[in-house]
Structure 1
Amino acid sequence: MVLIGGTSNVGKSTVAQVVAERLGFAYRSTDQLARHPGRPWRTAERAVPEHVAEHYASLPVDELITSVLDHYARLWPRIEELVRAHAAGAEGAETGLVLEGSALWPGRVAGLTAPRVAAVWLTAEPSVVRARVRTAGRYAAATPAERHLMDKFLARTERYQTLMLSVVQRLGLDHLDAGDGRTPEELADAVLAAAAAQHAVGRRPSGAAPAPEGRDSPRTS
């Protein structure tokens, strides 16, 4: 298995699908296991559900981040069960798996003892994530109310990355800058190189070269 974590809109799903194709593995997102109020902007195919708009409009950022972290904590037993089943070659798990999602909290993932599992976290400068969200949500043409929801989502997204990256760095886990201009194919190469060098989930042997970065990791402030 290859686990790919990171904040929203950092490019996890795109890179994970390329990695899965390269390896001949199945692809899955943790969002398919259980959903939390998602992206609060409308698209041609989807209006913003009322409960999602209310979630972002009514809660301050501190409560938004607490809510999503609590959701990931509740989801973890299902993720752990999925990882162990694939690592053990359980029935229905004959094919390798690339699993991506923000629910792959580094502190929990690093505690996995399952064999044949690698993990990498993707990061990006806040300005990169902000530009992606505003493009997806057509921020320039949005109403003030719609912009407010996007701004709250972005604030939560940036806070999540700050917290996540502090844990990744403290534990010495592999992470890659996904906002430095590399293509998904190039990032997939970097993920695979990092995964191949790991001796434990998310970690390389002491003294081994760090995961290849295009430039410095995003700031944590």
Structure 2
Amino acid sequence: MDGVRVVLIGGTSHTGKSTVARAVADRLGFAYRSTDGLARHPGRPWPTPEWRVPPHVAAHYRSLTVDELIASVLDHYARLWPRIEELVTGHALAGPDGGGGLVLEGSALWPGRVAGLTVPHTAAVWLTADEEVLAARVRAAAGYDRMEAQERAPVDGFLARMLRFQSLLLGTVGRLGLDRLDTSDGREADALAGEVVAVAAAQHAVGRSGAGSR
């Protein structure tokens, strides 16, 4: 990892990005940030003990088609990209005396844009998982089996968007020959963090080590 100051971890929801990114940051002594903290888009449409689903979020997933949901989130990520690029560039060019490194994770790290970065000292990896595994993770997190039909509809919309997003992402990652790790087997975050660090260290350009998918 000598010389790498920014590690980007992309992928769709429920691939383990946040947990793995925190583990990578701890391992490297870098700061951790999520692109969700830069600007919010309608997120997960199910409640937690600390959070109730706003009506507009439920309506977003209930009323839009999957094509409309994808168009909405991709437009959001396109508008967010200049802020991401500025953040990455600032950390990558800061030098050893300019503060610590950064691990940045989020679905907004679209592979086509990340692969176009020309700043030095930057690595990128995308996390993916089998569709059945992702669906099971979402339904377990949402408590889907305990929901009424009207409560399930927004979760179904979220899941449809999530799977379509990964399908598009996989196509771009494959076409550009970018590095990705499959998290379907549920291996521990520390193990995945070690793999991310190893892949990042081997990259000769942002997102590219030549190893492809693992």
Q: Which amino acid in structure 1 is aligned with residue 69 of structure 2?
A: L
1:201 matched to 2:213: no
Select the residue among 137, 142, 147 that pairs with 1:137: 142
User: TM-score under structure 2 normalisation?
Assistant: 0.94
Contact 2:62–2:153 at 8 Å: present in 1 too? Answer: yes
Q: Which amino acid in structure 2 is aligned with residue 119 of structure 1?
A: A
Contact 1:122–1:175 at 8 Å: present in 2 too? Answer: yes
Q: What are the ranges of 5 or more consecutive residues in structure 2 without an aligned counterpart?
A: 1-5
Q: Which amino acid in structure 2 is aligned with residue 61 of structure 1?
A: V
Listed as ranges, the matches of 1:48-197 within 5 Å are 48-89=53-94, 94-197=99-202
Contact 1:194–1:211 at 8 Å: present in 2 too? Answer: no
In structure 1, C-alpha distance between the alignment counterparts of 2:212 and 2:74, rounded to whole Å: 26
Q: What are the ranges of 5 or more consecutive residues in structure 1 without an aligned counterpart?
A: 214-221
SS in 2 for 1:3: strand
1:217 corresponds in structure 2 to none
SS in 1 for 2:124: strand
Q: Deviations 1:169-209 (Å, cap 9, x if unpaired)?
A: 000000000112321111111111100000110012xxx5x
**Against the structure 1 CA distance between its residues 212 and 75, is the aligned structure 2 distance closer, same or farther, given a 3 Å change threshold?**
closer
Q: How many residues align?
A: 209
SS in 1 for 2:126: strand
**Against the structure 1 CA distance between its residues 130 and 92, is the aligned structure 2 distance closer, same or farther, given a 3 Å change threshold?**
farther
1:3 corresponds in structure 2 to 8
In structure 1, C-alpha distance between the alignment counterparts of 2:159 and 2:131, rounded to whole Å: 9
SS in 2 for 1:165: helix
**Against the structure 1 CA distance between its residues 80 and 100, is the aligned structure 2 distance closer, same or farther, given a 3 Å change threshold?**
same
User: TM-score under structure 1 normalisation?
Assistant: 0.92
Structure 1 residue runs of 4 or more that deviate by more than 3 Å after TM superposition: 90-93
Contact 1:85–1:93 at 8 Å: present in 2 too? Answer: no
In structure 2, C-alpha distance between the alignment counterparts of 1:145 and 1:194, rounded to whole Å: 43
Q: Which amino acid in structure 2 is aligned with residue 131 of structure 1?
A: A
